Amino acid sequence: MDFVPAPSGGTPVKVPVVEVEAVDVAEPVNAESIAVEVVSSEYETDSDDSDGLDTLSQSETTIQLIRDEQLRDGLVPGACSLEEAVAFRKRLHAVGKAAFVEETLVRETVTAKKLCTAFGIMPPAFLEGEPDESYGPLLAIALSREFSRRPKLPEYNTVDDAVRLLRESKNIIVLTGAGISTSLGIPDFRSKDTGLYSKLEHLGLSDPQEVFDIHVFREDPSIFFSIAKDILPTEKKYSPTHGFIKLLQDKGKLLTNYTQNIDNIEANAGVLPEKIVQCHGSFATATCVKCKHRVSGDAIFDEIKEGKIPECSLCRQSIEADALKPQGLKRKRSSNGDHKDRKNFEDSSDEEDYEIPTPGVMKPDITFFGEDLPDEFGHRLVHHDRELADLVIVIGTSLKVAPVAEVPGILPRKIPQIYISRTPVSHTGFDIDLLGDCDVVVSELCRRAGWNLDHHMIPVNEKVDVTPVEGYESRHVFQVNGA
């Protein structure tokens, strides 16, 4: 899958939506030709799935990645300790890549092989026994990958810090994903066994993401519409997390909600259209792929819920009107599907040679893989929100889809960032990680802030236990007492 790196200043180029998955490492490894911007892994999900290895791979070459937990627990022989790794990372960001290499490799204070482990790369078996300089290309990748990450702001660590940021901030960017809708029965995409992608084997796709691929949709829209009913909300309801975003709006704190969701539930909660950027579009409207006639999503809601392919009513009316006109010579279909020149039109008894007019398919106005994000996304982020924002809250997303995944890195690094989801991500450096069910986390934050988040899904006497994660001063797990 292609990569879309975060822009370094200026307006983000208009790029198609892509899935950020594995990073391709060429064989032989060449540091001059490889730029690693984002690495995703099984750990970076909204699920509890953890039965894979983090790797960079291409063909038969696999470079295994090391997680901080493995360094902390001493599971990698010859590797840096977690404390050493953190110190090396901080030093890299403080002095830059050239000075860092001078201080370490040139002065021979540490080997390139060991330094790779500080930046999350396992020394590969195929380099075992080779001179230390053989690890240089891998280390160059590791340093570039780390240097592109946003460094954590050290002054923000505790839940109290998060609550204080909520109270004091005036222009909050909220970036949301599928995790904020799962409590409503709408599946996310990647959770093991329950995520939407895990249920698509019967479609015969080589990759379940193809269900949202624009090229696949054009070839066979029935694939998408066979699952569309499962991600389309049936009622005008919203989760406590949607209510939290509305509460920020009511308090005059919400700058923009950048949502990757296509369910349009933010509107049910009362978040104003001018406060929402639908990064991947939504089911709120649909457009004919042929005549571009646009309708409200409600107009095709019933057909989608029945698993049918909605057709354009305007196209149908036009076809019916044409059928009532005097019939002249029929237009013969050319071999490439286009009409032949008029001189080649001829009558024939072979009806299969003639083009039979059909209505266009009504495609919901969601952004498929391979389509560009709306212009509003990049323009608003760079030219409006970037300089106004004083807090970023990322909720319910594993940040796997570019270019939205690049938002935390595009914003100024001085802006504090809070991450709320079931499991942490490792490719972006947040200041505070609040782990657990999104609804539980935001309701507890509101209690501590003295705010009234009124929602029928929040038990009146709910008690939430907050536990720090060992080895991480800024990572905390939220769980309902007794759950």
CA distances from residue 279 to 17, 46, 260, 264 in whole angstroms, order as listed:
10, 19, 5, 11
Band the pLDDT of 377: cuts 50, 70, 90.
Answer: confident
Residues 199-225: what's their mean pLDDT?
77
| Beta carbons within 10 angstroms of residue 77's beta carbon | 7
Q: Is the peptide bond before 28 cis (omega within 30 degrees of 0)?
A: yes
438 is in an annotated binding site: no
What DSSP element (H or E) covers 363? strand 362-366
Residue 419, class by beta-carbon neighbours within 10 Å (0-12 exposed, 13-18 middle, 19+ buried)? buried
Looking at per-residue confidence, does 285 or 4 come out higher?
285
22 contacts 61 by C-beta, under 8 angstroms: no
User: How far, in whole angstroms, is CA 1 from its chain's centroid?
Assistant: 14
User: How far, in whole angstroms, is CA 5 from its chain's centroid?
Assistant: 14
Q: Say what the pLDDT of residue 110 is.
A: 96
Residues 64-78: what's their mean pLDDT?
87
pLDDT tens profile 155-176: 999 999 999 999 999 999 999 9
288 is in an annotated binding site: yes
Residue 447, class by beta-carbon neighbours within 10 Å (0-12 exposed, 13-18 middle, 19+ buried)? middle
Domains, in order of start, for the chain: 31-47+58-148 (no CATH), 159-185+238-280+373-480 (3.40.50.1220)
Per-residue b or e along 254-280, where b marks 16 or more CB atoms closer than 10 Å to that residue's CB: bbbbbbbbbbbbbbbbebeeebbbbbb
Residues 248-252: what's their mean pLDDT?
98
User: Does the pLDDT of residue 276 top 90, yes or no?
Assistant: yes
Name the catalytic one among 242, 280, 427, 455.
Answer: 280
Residue carrying structure tokens 């983000």: 12
Sheet holding 362-366: strands in order across? 294-296, 281-288, 362-366
Measured over the CA atoms of residue 430, residue 433, residue 439 and residue 444, the dihedral's sign is: negative
- Residue 383 known to be catalytic: no
pTM: 0.69
Partners of 420 in beta bridges: 395, 434
User: How far, in whole angstroms, is CA 110 from its chain's centroid?
Assistant: 37
User: Does the pLDDT of residue 134 top 90, yes or no?
Assistant: yes
Looking at 52-56, 95-99, 299-303, 329-333, which range is the least confident one? 52-56
446 is in an annotated binding site: no
Looking at per-residue confidence, does 175 or 353 come out higher?
175
Q: Mean pLDDT highest for which of 67-71, 137-141, 200-204, 225-229?
A: 137-141
Looking at 23-27, 124-128, 225-229, which range is the least confident one? 23-27
80 is in an annotated binding site: no
| Beta carbons within 10 angstroms of residue 184's beta carbon | 19
Instruction: Give the span between the Cα atoms of 224 and 310, in whole angstroms.
Output: 12
